[in-house]
């Protein structure tokens, strides 16, 4: 009973003290603060009240509301797409390519052959003389075909400087070529039948192809075909091409 009475007296003491403090605060706040500080009131309250720092730090802090200007700027930044990275080309051309690099850039065929292409040189007597010109010919399966294609391209700059020309009509196309029993069957388009020098030019263009083709040991003569057909003559004056023609054939 004595302990309960002491506790009641203690509680009553604190209640009276708190009321007294409140009255003092209401009368004069500043002097009251000074009195409470001098009397040790704050220290006494601090001992009674719980002091949990972790509770204070665990409370989430309120986020500051962004200003309208800042928010609009951040929105623009979010909405503005970043430029996509430009893909670099897988191959870049070197400003100064080495000869090896240039050679690798050119499609290479399986084999190489030194071939003789026959062109024409005009003599002092205005005759057309056959003259061979050396060429490096790359080929896969048919060296004869690649050689004829080189011949149809015409003389090179070096050949022209040496006075060589071609009498094969400019628009002549090689449609097909194959060799059978020593005969090269060469199929050409219809433009092959026309030559501005007429008979003399026709004979020269036939000899250019015959001599170029018979440089190959498997070819003894050439059978000319026009658009897949065997013709008796070409040209208005009629140069005979019905039969296979060799280097020693008399072209009528």
pLDDT for res 76 = 45
pLDDT for res 143 = 93
pLDDT for res 250 = 75
Residues ≥6 apart with Cβ < 8 Å to 173: 152, 188, 189, 191
Question: How many Å apart are CA 73 and CA 95, to the nearest integer?
Answer: 45
Whether residue 4 contacts residue 15, with contact meaning beta carbons closer than 8 Å, is answered with no
pLDDT for res 94 = 47
Residue pLDDT tens, the chain, 252 long:
666 666 677 778 788 888 877 777 676 666 656 666 766 666 765 665 555 444 444 444 544 444 444 444 444 444 445 445 444 444 444 445 555 555 555 555 578 989 999 999 999 888 999 999 999 999 888 899 999 999 999 999 999 999 999 999 999 999 999 999 999 999 999 999 999 999 999 999 999 999 999 999 999 999 999 999 999 999 888 899 999 999 998 776
Please write down the long-range contacts of 83-92, taking CB distance under 8 Å and 24 or more positions apart: none
Distances (CA, A) of 209 to 177, 196, 245: 12, 18, 10
Question: How many Å apart are CA 169 and CA 172, to the nearest integer?
Answer: 6
Helix axes 29-39, 41-48, angle to 10 degrees: 70
pLDDT for res 149 = 96
Q: How would you label 166-195 residue by residue, b for 16+ Cβ within 10 Å and e otherwise?
A: bbbbeebebeebebeeebbebbbeeebbeb
DSSP reduced 3-state for 252: coil
User: pTM for this one?
Assistant: 0.57
pLDDT for res 66 = 46
Residues ≥6 apart with Cβ < 8 Å to 228: 175, 176, 187
Domain spans in the chain, listed from the N-terminal domain onward: 107-240
């Amino acid at each position: 009973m004595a302990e309960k009475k002491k506790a009641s007296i203690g509680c009553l003491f604190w209640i009276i003290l708190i009321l007294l403090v409140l009255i003092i605060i209401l009368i004069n706040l500043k002097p009251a603060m000074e009195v409470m500080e001098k009397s040790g009131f704050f220290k006494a309250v601090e001992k009674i009240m719980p002091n949990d720092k972790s509770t204070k730090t665990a409370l989430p802090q309120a986020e500051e509301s962004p200003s309208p200007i800042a928010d609009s700027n951040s929105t623009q930044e979010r909405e503005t797409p970043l430029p996509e990275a430009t893909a670099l080309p897988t191959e870049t051309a070197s400003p100064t390519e080495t000869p090896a690099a240039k050679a690798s850039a050119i499609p290479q065929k399986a084999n190489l052959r030194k071939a003789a292409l026959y062109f024409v040189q005009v003599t002092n007597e205005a005759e057309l003389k056959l003259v061979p010109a050396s060429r490096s010919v790359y080929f896969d399966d048919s060296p004869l075909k690649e050689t004829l294609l080189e011949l149809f391209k015409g003389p090179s700059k070096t050949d022209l400087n040496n006075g060589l020309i071609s009498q094969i009509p400019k628009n002549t196309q090689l449609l097909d070529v194959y060799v059978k029993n020593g005969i090269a069957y060469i199929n050409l388009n219809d433009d092959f039948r026309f030559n501005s020098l007429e008979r003399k030019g026709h004979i020269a263009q036939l000899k250019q192809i015959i001599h170029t083709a018979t440089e190959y040991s498997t070819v003894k003569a050439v059978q000319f075909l026009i658009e897949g057909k065997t013709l008796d003559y070409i040209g208005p004056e009629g140069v005979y091409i019905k039969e296979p023609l060799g280097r020693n054939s008399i072209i009528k």
